[in-house]
Amino acid sequence: MAEQRRDTSGEEPGGERREAVRGAMAGAALEPGPGVAAHADTARIWEALVATARRTVADGLVVGTSGNVSARVGDLVLVTPSGVPYDRLTPGDITGVDLSGRQVLGTLVPTSELPMHLAVYRTTGARAVVHTHAVHATAVSTLVPELPLVHYMAGALGGPVRVAPYATYGSDELAENMLGALAGRSGCLLQNHGTITYGDGLDQAYDRTAQLEWMCRLWLTASSVPGLAPSLLTEAQLAEAGARLRGYGQRR
């Protein structure tokens, strides 16, 4: 998709509010008070968001600008812009919308997959969302309605990973299909499209994406051996593993 140009006319919908937000952020750098902390937090999360987006490319989960990443800061959703290579993004390219989708920060057009991101934030407690076109996961999405239980890490996503029925990218129909597949889950596959996962931060959302791609690669590898079929876990085995995973890691 072509890189979106910056609109400098000042007449776009929400333009006055965007100018106010930019002015407030600029002023926050000069005046002490709560605005300084809010601006610093937003800038920090934007930096982490861009780093995560670049990581999806470096790790082979997307090609070019085909994926997108977002993070929620209060009622503000920071999101990668449409069609802009991630290695070109700078602090000045910060792009944000409110939960209704109205752009309130920046002048670059938000990702075309904004309906999916907003649907996740409106219906879950997600703080970050990662969408990719990971090759193994996308391949699996064309073969089965649900990823077979080939590994217990499916428990980290809430259970068997479903495939959302196909719909045109960027459409409300796709967002609705995705929500159905995400019910009780923190990730799903999008038929003939890719993956979407969410978490309580960018690191968790990204890790869930990477784990999902790995499980898809594992199943494709195991199921490709002639004359053999991979052993699969039972729902009870997955539930037991999922309970253990909830207590995994260091206590804070």
Which two three-digit tokens encode residue 176?
């609705």
CB 243 within 8 A of CB 159: no
- Other C-beta atoms lying within 10 Å of the C-beta of residue 75: 11
Q: How many residues does the chain have?
A: 252
Estimate to the nearest angstrom the gap between the alpha carbon of 153 and the chain centroid.
Answer: 19
Active site residue 113: yes
Which two three-digit tokens encode residue 105?
């920060």
User: Out of 113, 146, 235, 240, which one is annotated catalytic?
Assistant: 113
Return the amino acid letter for 197: T
CB 163 within 8 A of CB 194: no
The catalytic residues are 113
